[in-house]
Structure 1
Amino acid sequence: PLSLTCALPLPRQYMVLVPFLIHTKVPEKICIQLTHLNESVTLSATLEYAGENRSLIADVVSEKDTFKCFSFTVPMSSSQKAAFLTVLVKGPTLTFRSRKSVLVKNSESLVFVQTDKPIYKPGQTVLFRIVSLDEDFHPLNEKVGLDPQRNRVYQWREVELSGGLTQLSFPLTSEPIQGPYKVVVQKESGTSVEHAFAVEEYVLPKYEVLVMVPKTITIQDEELKVAVCGLYTYGTPVPGLVNVHVCRKFSSSSSNCYGREADAVCEEFTRQADIRGCVSNVVQTKIFQLKRKGYEMEIEVQGKITEEGTGVELTGTGSTEITGTMSKIIFEQVDSHYRPGIPFFGQVGTSETPGNYMTRVHLRFEDRTLFEWVTPVYDRAVHRAPQFYSPSKSFLRIEPMSQTLRCGSTVMVQVHYILKPEAIEGQKQTVFYYLVMAKGGIARAGTEVHPVGDGEGELSCLRLPLGPDVAPLARLLVYITLPSGEVIASSEDFKIENCFANKVDLQFSPDEGLPASNTHLRVGASPGSLCAIRAVDKSVLLMKPEAELSPSSVYDLLPVKDLRDYIYQGHHFEEEDDNPCVTLDNIILNGFTYRPFSPDGEGDAYSVLKEMGLKVFTSTKVHKPRLCGVSWDHDRAMSHDNAMVEDLSHSPMETIRKYFPETWIWDLVTVKSVGSADLDVTIPDTITEWKANAFCTSSDTGFGLSPTVSLRAFQPFFVELTLPYSVVRGEAFTLKATVFSYLTSCIRVSISLAPSTNFRATPVEKEEESYCLCVNGRKTLSWAVTPKSLGHVNFSVSAEALKPELPCGNEIVETPDRGRKDTVIKQLLVEVGGPLSPCGREKDVEWHWEEWEGSGGLGVNYSLCGSLQGGVDDEVTLSAYITIALLEIPLPITHSVVRNALFCLETAAEQGGNHVYTRALLAYAFALAGKEEKRRPLLDSLDKEAVKEDGSIHWQRPGKQQEADLPFYRPRAPSAEVEMTSYVLLAYLTSRLAPSQEDLSIAAQIAKWISKQQNPNGGFSSTQDTVVALQALSQYGVSTYAKSGGASTVTVRSTGDFKSEFQVDHMNRLLLQRVALPEVPGEYSTGVTGEGCVYVQTSLRYNVLPKLGEAPFVLQVHTVPEICDSSKAHRTFGIAINVSYTGKRPVSNMAIVDVKMLSGFIPVKTSVRELEGHHQIHRTEVSTNHVLLYMEQVSNMTQIFSFTVEQDFFVQSLKPALVKVYDYYETDEFAIAEYHAPCSKGSI
């Protein structure tokens, strides 16, 4: 008999994978797999996006088995949009169609800004670079605009980048506003990038203080090891006195449970630094009561080093965490699911701190104890790993690698698998499909055909090259499709070090040299690269550390480094499983009913693809069966660890040095075809360590960044000067010169200060003809110096090694071969004394209101500042003010609160007799409410009381005395008058219809007067009038702005040769442009040509001596102690201030107490902050030479408060310093007093 066996054809399968997040303007990939085809099919993928259908794939597939990826690019859109992707596979006998949602997002350029340093002095030039890269780190030559949108001090429009970068600069004025600044770059996409820097008056530190303590100690540790070291920037130890404070702060300051304990428990010790510049000590922890609650779980260590000879003090800090966790178990990189028969991967470790591990804890409590204690904890950890679903019991798993992998290497990935014979249906080999995701896109894809043998084994031939294209995280997907349609999948993350294709190297040769000597700098990079080099003094980075440009900081610019799940920025893109649910019957066994359920967290192929961020269009089985009526959970199981992660832990014969830049190298160079560029540079005169780095851009290899390299500028024999930033003319300060010798033998030196007509100098001690300096020796000489002239004064000090005519004790004296004489020339700024007029300060005002009364008015429970209401304190004014705020939110006029308020205001307006300030508020309130019939009569009445002069209009309070009319000075109006005039301007410009030409004509005259009241910083007298005035001027600009408006040229001329021009147009109309007038006094003229309205202001700053006379404040200032009763009073003392108000009002408005520091003294910040606990002082500000105290108000009751200052630099013949108290809103109400240092009349 014949037997006939027929093999059934394998089911045809297709799978399409694409990231659910698609970027525009950059190539994206979509991968398709077609298997077991027996006919040609057409494959298409269409993206429904931005109102049109865009074809991504249109291909005919004839092969039986296919796996390949297609590249496509989506054009830029106006915004981030959801789209739909439809995949269609069609042949004569089959049709597969699937439609899913994706997100289309515009790609972003990677832009960063680099400044030459993080901090600048007044008058210095800010150098900065702008770099633009694409997401593959290749340079982009896009146009960017520097547009801060704030107080614009400089502005560049449509800056074109070359090689992906550009360099720009701008000078700071000699008297800039100190504090933080930002460079703001606007990208072509409209988003902006910011880079911050600071402007301060400072003296660079010569050394750094390092505090070394363990990161963590346990509550059972009895000792704490502390070390404090001082190192000069050129690497040698600092000799001096080291003072160390070890403190545990009290965390419950509001509690009185612990009696009158101090804010902290501290241990202090002071010692001389050893030969390494260090002090080490073992502190007993018993005093800190580590197990006791109520204190912070941290010990803070502060180390202060006083340099030998100069007395310069610098401080460093460190901290140690206190933990009650003695040990714990940690799960790291543990499999989220287990697959039967496949190795389970993970790392289980312990994080145990040294010491004895206790298994029992004995606690004894006494009755009525008030103490709480921290008990030792031995943590455990739990990790839950549910099973991975497979109906055929076939699995595969990629073996993880825990370490960060080296960029440029190739790793062999191990894949473990179990394929049941019945699942592969007798196949001897199978196809492993793999795909690599990186930076949110498909980076690579391919297949590996592997013999499966008995169905269990290991795939070890999967090579994974690791380059910049897949850094910093490569996500590998490996899957198999079984004949039954089941998909077996696994994914794994591989961490790769941040790297770039353009390998940049920077090298000094030699890397140490004498000041003013030559050195060679070589930059290595891809041929044709454009490289930007920076070298800055290490002292600058100690003064203000900055976020260093590093591979991590550049990689952090990437918009997507890792795509997971189907969620991005709040958008969800997961579709419901469209497979029908499965119904299973209950099982009854031995009287028990067993109901079917879906195990929580059970994994499947879909969860793997979802975790990869891949949308899947397929005819295969990627979902596990969904039970009808049972909720489904695709969330991955998370390990549970209930303890914190803890880790435990560092020349010529004479040199004249006068060139001390803070930035040494700031250059752009092009790399030659040999792959390097060479620079010959001269080392500056500073004895220090220079920190240099470079980055390069190339159209071929992209961006690259060098490691930071150092050059040590050093000579074994040199002199250094210790100077303050500035002094006041007439004051005597101590100029100190320290000579250092790091020669291998003793030398005899002479030290001299060159005389000058700009200062008078007297030696503090009797000078000798020469001094002996042996190995690592130093000598400090001091002069009492009194400057005679203003501006920058030069000081020249020389140290010369003499011929060995006299011995140094028993040591032989030698003369160095090079650098026998070292001369240092440095500058000091000498300023004039006396106060400058103050500028406005910010204040936040909080309005409190309770209920509307029967009349509709607001029940007052907060007293408005008088000047905020033009001296008016009534219910109508307050109601108008708050109604304006409500309408500007905006609340509709139909809102019950607004409706009642407007009824109140209408009633008050009809009654008449309102103050001019109140009518200004009413007019604006009615304008916002659209009540033209109420607005116009108020404006007409205000017009009758307007002050019209010199083509301008403004309003003033009734009864105001006329100011003296001086030919070259116009007094600035009080805050209230600026405010009320601004409200009137807003009332003229706010209406439902566009303002009439008549209203605009009046508005122009009002705007002219308001503009004249601006101070040189762009503000007005206070925050309140500044806010309203700028709002009014902005509204005027909106009402009169014409984009096609013409340009103007402003020309400033002197009677001599000086001439400067400003170009003003609609592109830079918000930019502050300024020029310094070279000669004062002098005669200057201005002229304007072109079209438009331009605001020109001159600003003259000068110092005046305080005037004595009647004042609305009584101000008394004295020091504590008042006389020099101890040596401590030379270095630290208190400043006590008594202030009261004696003006016309019951109390003042908010007042500012401005305390100027004595030369050489700085405030103790903690003592100033403590004043914020005073019931009248709600805010304090501290700068180098000023302390500002914000008082809510001042009454006729004397307020008394004080804070502490300490000496930072010795100054002789100290001039008194001034304290000024003034009304925040009425700045012409002020009082001035001066104070002296307790020992200011003493000798050095």
Structure 2
Amino acid sequence: MTLSPPKRVDDKTEAIKGEVCCKYTYGQPVKGKVMVETCVTELYQTYKTSTKPCVVIHGEMTGCFSYSFDVAILRPHYQDRYNYLKISTFAAVLEEATGLIVNQTKEGPTITTFTIQADVSSYTRKFFKPQLPFEYRLTEADSTTRNPVSFEATQWFSPSDSYIEIQPISRTISPGLQPVVLYLTNPPKTAFRVITQVMSRGRIMHHSQDKYRVMKPADGTYKRSQPWCRNLKYCSSDKRFAPDVPSIKIELNVSCSMAPEATLLVYHIRPDGEVVADTESFKVEQCFTNPVKMAFTPSKEYPGYPTQLSLSAAPGSLCMVGVVDQSVYLLGGKNQITPKQLFSPLEHYNAIKDAPADSYTTLTRYCEAWFKKHGVVNSDELKFNVPHYAYLNTRFTYLSDYVDSSVAFKLSSLHIFGLLELRSRPCKKQFTYNMYRHRRSLGSALNDWQSDQSEGSGGRSLDHCVSESASVTAFQPFFVSFTLPYAAVRGEYIPLTVTVFNYLTECIEIELRLNDSNEFDLLNPERVTWMCICGNEAKRHDFVIVPKNIGHINVTAQAKSIPGDSQCPKVTATGEAIGIKDAVVRQLLVEVRQYYTYR
């Protein structure tokens, strides 16, 4: 049984909706009657007792039952006590065939005022580039507070105002050639080479370079560039704008070896040596380089009938097949190898989300070179109004309010050894005089040379494959079920309710028999009865037995599908569904009646 109450109730809610579902362990839907009680209760336990307001709904169900009612019925009881009350839901299902009752209770949600918790940082880039679109996403979540949400994005710096931006990839990419759109500002006037590199599983999976040339249209604008939001589901149709910058399209060959996540790095080198770069991480469909498929044909069959197992794989594959009853996995826990289990450890090698900051030594070395290049040799050349006692404890550190192309390489987990000019951002000196702090900003930076360095990681490969599970159901048209008490007394009248479930879509006639036994007497006039059962329905028959022997006795009920007759004209099942048998044997412990004498 599954009870699904509403996830959220607030002062803007107009209707309370939920669902109750009930099915047998073998998957068939339960047919019966349902009752749902929705109440307003205290969020915290108190000693005060009062009548709780409730709404009760009755109905009939076959598998699932959806309920809904106007919240105005309960609103007067909670409208002045938001965040102190909650919704409590109780549901009970009466099975039509056996009369058994199952129930479930769910506490929550808390009744709140309407609030939205905006999540910006999880889905938004932490850098922005001048002249290029900056995409941010707000996600709604339940919240009981009204805290403000803030988000900071750092400006990407280029001394030549040259930037490259990968159009955001929000969907999961399938293997094969995939187009990727790049936007550029201030591109070279001549043909230039764009280097493309893909990192996944801690190693380089793809590397290519192609030449491109951007020609300015006659009207002097780039409005015919690729639309920014064309492939994004988060953008509405009227927001699919194209920035007034040129764009180029590259073809990326995505392979299964890049799953589950890959990081794309693109960059080009300007004639003056400046590196213009960008990076983007994206999900890759989980697949294997050596796929294997397995299926049963047919997927449903009667017990004892043959079925065919089809297996397909690449030539030269070594395949291992395991076929067990589903109950083995239900009882054995997590002992089944699945594709998810194989890909889960690889997520450890996904790209980092935040670029690591430069060490103090690295930043100091770079900024000292930057200051020297711009004619600033020592701090005396910077004009500050310093208190007369500042000389007692004077020190300074370097910092920068910008990021540059070195961040793209860091986010790609790459280390550069060579003469690439990755760093170009301007520096600041932050002076500290005892408790006083003064900052001085310098002008725009010219191009400067610095090499970046980091450590590499070993590659990880996945050369084998696990297919998705294939299943075959041993489909019995009907089956018999009954229960007995654990123990009884000799001579006691024991009611025995036998239920027959029909899983066919057609009606069938069942011959139900309680087998003869010397261990008990049957009070019914007949041991055999006939019943008509239509598709996905169940019917029951009541027997009464009286145990005669002491100890464990066996009780056997047997059912058989037979052709329909005048007593069951609705029967439409034919062929293999006729003549099927099912039997159930249960044990009953019979004890001696004890007599007590009191004196």
TM-score, structure 2 as length reference: 0.69
Name the SS of the counterpart of 1:576 in structure 2: helix
Which residue is equivalent to 2:497?
736
Which residue is equivalent to 1:238?
30
Q: Does residue 1:465 correspond to 2:253, yes or no?
A: yes
Is the alpha carbon distance of 1:1214 and 1:319 closer, same or farther for their aligned partners in structure 2, counting shifts above 3 Å? farther
Q: Give the partner amino acid of 2:66.
A: S
Paired residues for 1:544-943 under 5 Å: 550-558=338-346, 560-564=348-352, 576-577=362-363, 578-581=365-368, 582=371, 583=376, 601-623=401-423, 624-629=425-430, 702-716=463-477, 718-723=478-483, 727-728=486-487, 735-741=496-502, 749-756=510-517, 759-760=519-520, 762=522, 767=526, 769-776=528-535, 778-783=538-543, 784=545, 795-801=555-561, 807=567, 811=569, 816-828=574-586
Is the alpha carbon distance of 1:722 and 1:610 closer, same or farther for their aligned partners in structure 2, counting shifts above 3 Å? same
Asked if the contact 2:202/2:349 (under 8 Å) is kept, the reply is: yes
- How many Å separate the matches in 2 of 1:337 and 1:815? 68
The partner residue of 2:7 within 205, 215, 221 is 215
How far has the Cα of 1:721 moved from its partner? 1.4
Name the SS of the counterpart of 1:241 in structure 2: strand
Which residue is equivalent to 2:276?
488
Q: Give the partner amino acid of 1:530.
A: C
Is the alpha carbon distance of 1:574 and 1:822 closer, same or farther for their aligned partners in structure 2, counting shifts above 3 Å? farther
Which residue is equivalent to 2:49?
260
Asked if the contact 2:194/2:210 (under 8 Å) is kept, the reply is: yes
Paired residues for 1:443-482 under 5 Å: 443-451=205-213, 458=246, 460-482=248-270
Which residue is equivalent to 1:99?
none
- How many Å separate the matches in 1 of 2:204 and 2:19? 51
Q: Does residue 1:393 correspond to 2:393, yes or no?
A: no
- How many Å separate the matches in 2 of 1:749 and 1:251? 53
Asked if the contact 2:40/2:88 (under 8 Å) is kept, the reply is: yes
- How many Å separate the matches in 2 of 1:737 and 1:752? 10
The partner residue of 2:182 within 396, 402, 415 is 415
Q: Give the partner amino acid of 1:798.
A: Q
Asked if the contact 2:193/2:212 (under 8 Å) is kept, the reply is: yes
Which residue is equivalent to 2:292?
504
Deviations 1:263-296 (A, max 9, x none): xx5746464524x344333245416727634646
Which residue is equivalent to 1:532?
321
Paired residues for 1:942-1091 under 5 Å: none
| Residue ranges of structure 1 left out of the alignment (5+ in a row) | 1-208, 354-373, 589-595, 633-699, 832-1211, 1217-1244
Asked if the contact 1:801/1:816 (under 8 Å) is kept, the reply is: no
Which residue is equivalent to 1:1133?
none
Q: Give the partner amino acid of 1:626.
A: C
How far has the Cα of 1:472 moved from its partner? 1.5
Is the alpha carbon distance of 1:714 and 1:241 closer, same or farther for their aligned partners in structure 2, counting shifts above 3 Å? same
- How many Å separate the matches in 1 of 2:98 and 2:328? 18
Asked if the contact 2:296/2:472 (under 8 Å) is kept, the reply is: yes
How far has the Cα of 1:606 moved from its partner? 2.2
Q: Give the partner amino acid of 1:610.
A: K
Is the alpha carbon distance of 1:830 and 1:499 closer, same or farther for their aligned partners in structure 2, counting shifts above 3 Å? farther
Deviations 1:131-183 (A, max 9, x none): xxxxxxxxxxxxxxxxxxxxxxxxxxxxxxxxxxxxxxxxxxxxxxxxxxxxx
Name the SS of the counterpart of 1:442 in structure 2: strand
Name the SS of the counterpart of 1:523 in structure 2: strand
Q: Does residue 1:281 correspond to 2:48, yes or no?
A: no
Asked if the contact 1:250/1:294 (under 8 Å) is kept, the reply is: no
Asked if the contact 1:795/1:825 (under 8 Å) is kept, the reply is: no
The partner residue of 1:227 within 8, 19, 36 is 19
- How many Å separate the matches in 1 of 2:253 and 2:546? 68
Which residue is equivalent to 1:520?
308
Name the SS of the counterpart of 2:322 in structure 1: strand
- How many Å separate the matches in 1 of 2:40 and 2:329? 31
Q: Give the partner amino acid of 1:218.
A: D
Q: Does residue 1:339 correspond to 2:126, yes or no?
A: no
Name the SS of the counterpart of 1:492 in structure 2: strand
| Residue ranges of structure 2 left out of the alignment (5+ in a row) | 223-244, 385-395, 433-438, 440-460, 595-599
- How many Å separate the matches in 2 of 1:506 and 1:318? 40
Deviations 1:956-999 (A, max 9, x none): xxxxxxxxxxxxxxxxxxxxxxxxxxxxxxxxxxxxxxxxxxxx
Is the alpha carbon distance of 1:482 and 1:270 closer, same or farther for their aligned partners in structure 2, counting shifts above 3 Å? closer
TM-score, structure 1 as length reference: 0.36
Paired residues for 1:310-321 under 5 Å: 310-315=98-103, 321=109
Structure 1 or 2, whichever has the larger Rg, is: 1
- How many Å separate the matches in 2 of 1:433 and 1:787? 90
Paired residues for 1:74-473 under 5 Å: 209-232=1-24, 236-247=28-39, 250-253=42-45, 255-256=46-47, 259-261=48-50, 267=54, 269=56, 271=58, 273-274=60-61, 276-285=62-71, 286=74, 289=78, 292-293=81-82, 295=84, 299=87, 301-315=89-103, 321-322=109-110, 324-326=113-115, 331=120, 333-341=123-131, 343-348=132-137, 351=140, 382-406=150-174, 408-419=175-186, 428-451=190-213, 458=246, 460-473=248-261
- How many Å separate the matches in 2 of 1:1213 and 1:734? 17
- How many Å separate the matches in 2 of 1:722 and 1:576? 78
- How many Å separate the matches in 1 of 2:123 and 2:526? 71
Q: Give the partner amino acid of 1:450.
A: Y
Is the alpha carbon distance of 1:350 and 1:419 closer, same or farther for their aligned partners in structure 2, counting shifts above 3 Å? same
Task: Let me know the Cα RMSD of the aligned residues.
Answer: 4.7
How far has the Cα of 1:345 moved from its partner? 3.9
- How many Å separate the matches in 2 of 1:392 and 1:803? 88
Name the SS of the counterpart of 1:703 in structure 2: coil
- How many Å separate the matches in 2 of 1:492 and 1:823? 62
Asked if the contact 2:94/2:101 (under 8 Å) is kept, the reply is: yes
- How many Å separate the matches in 1 of 2:355 and 2:328? 46
Is the alpha carbon distance of 1:213 and 1:722 closer, same or farther for their aligned partners in structure 2, counting shifts above 3 Å? same
- How many Å separate the matches in 1 of 2:213 and 2:564? 88
Is the alpha carbon distance of 1:610 and 1:375 closer, same or farther for their aligned partners in structure 2, counting shifts above 3 Å? closer
Q: Give the partner amino acid of 2:293.
A: D
How far has the Cα of 1:492 moved from its partner? 0.9
User: Bigger relative contact order, structure 1 or 2, given CA contacts below 8 A and separation 6+?
Assistant: 2
Name the SS of the counterpart of 1:530 in structure 2: coil
Deviations 1:102-158 (A, max 9, x none): xxxxxxxxxxxxxxxxxxxxxxxxxxxxxxxxxxxxxxxxxxxxxxxxxxxxxxxxx
How far has the Cα of 1:475 moved from its partner? 0.7
Q: Give the partner amino acid of 1:338.
A: F
Deviations 1:996-1039 (A, max 9, x none): xxxxxxxxxxxxxxxxxxxxxxxxxxxxxxxxxxxxxxxxxxxx
Asked if the contact 1:233/1:539 (under 8 Å) is kept, the reply is: no
Name the SS of the counterpart of 2:257 in structure 1: coil
Deviations 1:588-630 (A, max 9, x none): 9xxxxxxx99886521122222223323334343232433346
How far has the Cα of 1:461 moved from its partner? 4.4
How far has the Cα of 1:413 moved from its partner? 1.7
Asked if the contact 1:335/1:344 (under 8 Å) is kept, the reply is: no
How far has the Cα of 1:212 moved from its partner? 4.2
Is the alpha carbon distance of 1:398 and 1:547 closer, same or farther for their aligned partners in structure 2, counting shifts above 3 Å? farther
Residues 575-584 or 812-821, more deviating: 812-821
- How many Å separate the matches in 1 of 2:150 and 2:35? 47
How far has the Cα of 1:780 moved from its partner? 1.3
How far has the Cα of 1:220 moved from its partner? 2.5
- How many Å separate the matches in 1 of 2:329 and 2:498? 21
> Across the two proteins, how many residue pairs are aligned to each other?
510
How far has the Cα of 1:405 moved from its partner? 1.5
How far has the Cα of 1:750 moved from its partner? 3.4
Q: Give the partner amino acid of 2:155.
A: Q
- How many Å separate the matches in 2 of 1:291 and 1:533? 61
Is the alpha carbon distance of 1:801 and 1:397 closer, same or farther for their aligned partners in structure 2, counting shifts above 3 Å? closer
How far has the Cα of 1:438 moved from its partner? 0.9
